Structure 1
Amino acid sequence: MVPHLVTALTGPINELEQRVLDSTPAIERWFRLEWMEHTPPFYSSADIRNAGFKLAPVDTNLYPRGWNHLTHEMLPLAVQAAQAAIEKICPEARNLLVIPENHSRNTFYLANVAQLVRIFHMAGLNVRVGSIDPAIKSPKKIELPNGDTVCLEPVVRSKRRLGLKHFDPCTILLNTDLSAGVPGILEELYEQYLLPPLHAGWPMRRKSNHLHSYEEVSKRFGKLLGIDPWLINPMYAKVGEVNFGSGDGVDVLTSHADALLTRIRRKYKEYGINEKPFVVVKSDNGRSEMGVVTVRDAKEIEALARKHKPRSGAAKSPAERLELIVQEGVLTKERVHDGVAEPVVYMMDRYVVGGFYRVHADRNPDEDLKIPGASFVPLAFSESAHLPQPGAKPGASAPNRFYMYGVIGRLAMVAASYELEATNPDAEIYE
């Protein structure tokens, strides 16, 4: 399905699409050389925004959920990528243990786990699901609305290994972003592969590190194509800690938002863009209760501070201190079923394996769509994930547009590989 694009077919995004299509051999060689030097994350997903004048990733997930939204037609790609990924890490692998989030009642999430089990089973592995939830004390079989079944089993930890009763895996796949902290049971596993590594979780990961890496990647890729990197890169600023209760850091947040809005206005003027610039304020270390807040004027920060200031007499807590970033807001001019939409690209190892549109009928083009009420429409990657159609009119070809999504998604994946290398606490061991 190709969404309705409000932008004209002669808009800047189509010029960018044409430049990408004309440079396909150079682009694929560039990615090939990158993967000779860097290790891609085991799996990842990227939320992408198409503003008509720029196409950029706005969020990159290293513990992607939502695999259940991939269609059956996409599964062969995912299975082949899973085989390639496992073969690189542990060629003799036989058993794989999947560690999910600790919310066993969420059947939508568990449908995602069932899909991961299916993918790796078809890739040739014995796959079981091990829960680190203390409430799971014996195997618990859960029937899902779509007809799938997930069996959660309590994990068993020995001195150096993690597994299940009578099940000893060589590889452990985390599908939890560790936002609640790293459980001790996952630490110091010396004889097993833990994927992704613990430093990819939110206790250590920061979005600002990823955005810094992506900025570097976009500059190099922009030079390759002879384009302004801004066309594929959302600008950002790291704010640091903000305490809305005491007011500490609010002035810094306001200053960064104002400066970034000024930079965006300059770019809009340079390209003759008549849209109203905006930025988004969000947590640097994962999602917080604050969510993603759209700011169109730095003066709105004052209202944001009042909204999130604890009520008088409320107990003080460390949660009041938030690590925040300000990121350039990227409009989405895509529509599916009359709802605002953004493509989400799924990747495993170095391959694009599928994706979907996140659609929200009640949101505006400058707002976050990752909230309750969103629906999901599969991308037609099955038609042609990596086979663009030379000569097709820009903006009119689904394979060409999806190839663009895949290029941007893979750029985010390259940035994630840089990010993980830079933040690896054991990196000095290998130097």
Structure 2
Amino acid sequence: MVPHLITALTGPINELEQRILDSMPAIERWFRLEWMEHTPPFYSSVDIRNAGFKLAPVDTNLYPGGWNNLTDQMLPLAVQAAMAAIEKICPEARNLLIIPENHSRNTFYLANVMQLQRIFNMAGLNVRVGSISPEIKKATTVTLPHGESITLEPVIRTKRRLGLKNFDPCTILLNNDLSAGPPGILEELYEQYLLPPLHAGWSVRRKSRHFQSYEEVSKRFGKMLGIDPWLINPLFTKVEGVDFNEGIGLDALQTAVDATLTKVRRKYKEYGINEKPWVVVKADNGTYGMGIMTVRDAKELEDLNRKTRNKMAVIKDGQVVHDVIVQEGVLTRERVHEAVAEPVVYMMDRYVVGGFYRMHAERGTDENLNAPGASFVPLAFEHSTHLPQPGARPGASAPNRFYMYGVIARLAMLASSYELEATDPNAEVYD
């Protein structure tokens, strides 16, 4: 199923798809050489928006949930990628421990954990789920929406290792984004592989650093393809020292919004795009679609209502927002069953393993879809994203569209690897 674009696929995006298809051997070689130099994140997901004239990632998650939205047809790809990823890190691995988020009663989230358990089990590992939540004091079985059940067990920390009763893993997979900071129980595990590393969590990670890395990647990729990197890169700027409740720093935020809108307006004029530009203000370390607002005019920031201030002031786990990014808004011109939709691409190691469409019937083309009421259509990536059809008209072929999405997602994944190298506390620093 190919969601329909509500605009004719013409102009820049059409040319971009054609350029990407024509350059496929060069692109794959470029990625291959990059992965010789850089280590991909263990797994990731990327939200992409297709405006019909521009295609860009708007968010990258290094602790992706939602694996339960992948179809059964996608599982073989995920299992193969899991095998490759584990083989690279710990070839003799036998036991894998998954550590989920602490909201242990969210059955839809736990269905995602169970899917991960299934994938790594099929990759040849004994897999159990260990909770670091203080609520889990004994083995707890939770029934999931489709009648299956998952067992959460309390983790046991010895001096050097983390495990469960009668279960000693060599590898620990975090599906917990550590928004409130890494708990002591996960620190100083020098004898086990912790994936992703602690510095990938939101207590260290910043969206501004990620998009700075992505900007660098998009410029190099654009140069190779001979395209304007703006076609695949959302403009952004960082604003520090904001306090929404006290109204501190809103002048600086207003200035940044105005400057970004001016830059986007200039680009729209260059490409003859008759749309009104807008920006998204996001918490720099935000997650779960929290701490986000759409701004169409800098004057809107002069009289934010109390509800909006409260929404922007605090994010997951009660973390107070001090820094934000102002990101160019990218329209989504795709529809599934008349609902606005955006593709989310899932990767493990350096491989695209599948994805789905996030859709929201009550949101507009310029709004955040990662919000209550969103639903998922896991049919879009049924065919391998690596089998484009040369010769097919741009936009007419699902594999071509999804190959293009896979390329953009892998660029964001590469940016994440740059980002993790920059924040690695154990990296050697050379003068």
- TM-score, length basis structure 1: 0.96
Trace 1:21-420 onto structure 2 (pairs within 5 A): 21-287=21-287, 291-304=291-304, 307-309=307-309, 321-420=321-420
Contact 1:2 1:398 in 2 (8 A): yes
| Cα separation, partners in 2 of 1:130 and 1:290, compared to 1, 3 Å | closer
1:142-179, CA deviations, whole angstroms, 9 ceiling, x for partnerless residues? Answer: 11121322100000000000000110000000001001
Matched residue SS, 2:322: strand
Shift of 1:366: 0.2
Return the offset for 1:378. Answer: 1.2
Q: Which amino acid aligns with 1:134?
A: P
Aligned-residue offset at 1:322: 2.5
Name stretches of at least 5 consecutive residues in structure 1 with no aligned partner: 311-317
Are 2:288 and 2:370, in contact at CA under 8 Å, matched by a contact in 1?
Answer: no
Spell out, residue by residue over 1:319-344, the C-alpha distance to the aligned partner (whole angstroms, 9 max, x if none): 65532110000000000010000000
Amino acid at match of 1:43: Y
Residue 98 of structure 1: how far off its partner (Å): 0.1
Letter in 1 for 2:20: V
> Which residue matches 1:421?
421
**In the aligned structure 1, how far is the partner of 2:289 from the partner of 2:362?**
20
| Larger CA deviation: 179-188 vs 63-72 | 179-188
CA distance in 2, matches of 1:320, 1:413: 27
On the 8 A contact 2:180/2:319 being kept in 1, the answer is: no
Rounded to whole Å, the distance in 2 between the matches of 1:238 and 1:425 is 23
How far off is 1:292 after superposition? 1.5
Take 1:291 and 1:355, find their aligned partners in 2: how far apart are those partners? Answer: 25
Measure, in 2, the Cα distance between the counterparts of 1:132 and 1:290: 23
Q: 1-side partners of 2:367 and 2:150: how far apart? A: 34
Matched AA of 2:129: V
2:20 counterpart of 1:20: yes
Contact 2:289–2:371 (8 Å) recurs in 1:
no
Are residues 321 and 409 of structure 1, via their aligned partners in 2, closer, same or farther at CA, if it must alter by over 3 Å? closer
Gaps of 5+ in 2: 311-317
| Further displaced range: 28-37 or 132-141 | 132-141
Give the direction of change, closer, same or farther, for the CA distance of 1:320–1:387 in structure 2 (3 Å limit). Answer: closer
Bigger CA drift: 374-383 or 347-356? Answer: 374-383
Closer, same or farther in 2 for the Cα pair 1:246/1:143, shift >3 Å?
Answer: closer
- Following the alignment from structure 1 to structure 2, what is the Cα–Cα distance between the partners of residues 100 and 64? 11
Post-superposition offset of 1:134: 1.2
Counterpart Cα distance in 2 of 1:111 and 1:428:
39
* SS of 1:105 mapped into structure 2: coil
Q: 1:401 and 1:261, CA in 2 relative to 1: closer, same or farther beyond 3 A?
A: same
The separation in 1 between residues aligned to 2:348 and 2:48, in whole angstroms, is 17
Alignment partner, residue 314 of structure 1? none
CA deviations 1:35-75 (Å, max 9, x no partner) are 00000000000000000000000000000000000000000
Partner-residue secondary structure (3-state), 1:79: helix
Letter in 1 for 2:397: S
Moved more, 286-295 or 268-277: 286-295
> Which digits, 9 at most, give the CA deviation of each residue in 1:241-300, with x for residues without a partner?
201233221111000000000000000000000011000001001238963111010001
Note if contact 2:289-2:370 (Cα within 8 Å) is conserved in structure 1.
Answer: no
Q: Which moved more, 1:300-309 or 1:17-26?
A: 300-309
SS in 2 for 1:299: helix
What is the alpha-carbon distance in structure 2 between the residues aligned to residue 82 and residue 382 of structure 1? 19
> Given the two structures, how large is their TM-score scaled by the length of structure 2?
0.96
By how many angstroms is 1:307 displaced? 4.5
Q: Distance in 2 between matches of 1:379 and 1:321?
A: 36
Q: Secondary structure at the match of 1:147?
A: coil
Preserved CA contact (<8 Å) 1:114 1:148: no
Question: Does the 8 A contact of 1:290 with 1:308 survive in 2?
Answer: no
> Partners of 1:290 and 1:174 in 2: how far apart?
21
Judge conservation of contact 1:240–1:323 (CA < 8 Å) in 2. yes
> How many angstroms does 1:430 deviate by?
9.2
CA RMSD of aligned residues (A): 1.7
Q: Between Structure 1 and Structure 2, how many residues are aligned?
A: 425
SS at match of 1:384: coil
Distance 1:138 1:411 in 2: 42
Q: Distance in 2 between matches of 1:289 and 1:399?
A: 29
Relative to structure 1, is the Cα distance of residues 424 and 366 closer, same or farther in structure 2, using a 3 angstrom cutoff? same
Measure the CA separation in 2 of the matches of 1:296 and 1:411.
28
Q: Are the equivalent residues in 1 in contact too, given 2:140–2:152 (CA < 8 A)?
A: yes
Deviation, structure 1 residue 135: 1.3
Q: CA deviation at 1:14?
A: 1.2
Q: 1:290 to 1:104 in 2, by over 3 A?
A: closer
Q: Could you tell which deviates more after superposition, 179-188 or 108-117?
A: 179-188
Question: In the alignment, which residue of structure 1 is the partner of 2:314?
Answer: none
Deviations 1:381-420 (A, max 9, x none): 2323201000001100000000011000000000000000
Paired AA for residue 133 in structure 1: S
Query: What's the CA shift for 1:103?
Result: 1.1
Q: Give aligned-pair identity as a percent.
A: 77
Is the Cα–Cα contact under 8 Å of residues 250 and 305 in structure 1 kept in the other structure?
no
Task: Tell me the amino acid that sits aligned with residue 99 of structure 1.
Answer: I
Letter aligned with residue 353 of structure 2: V
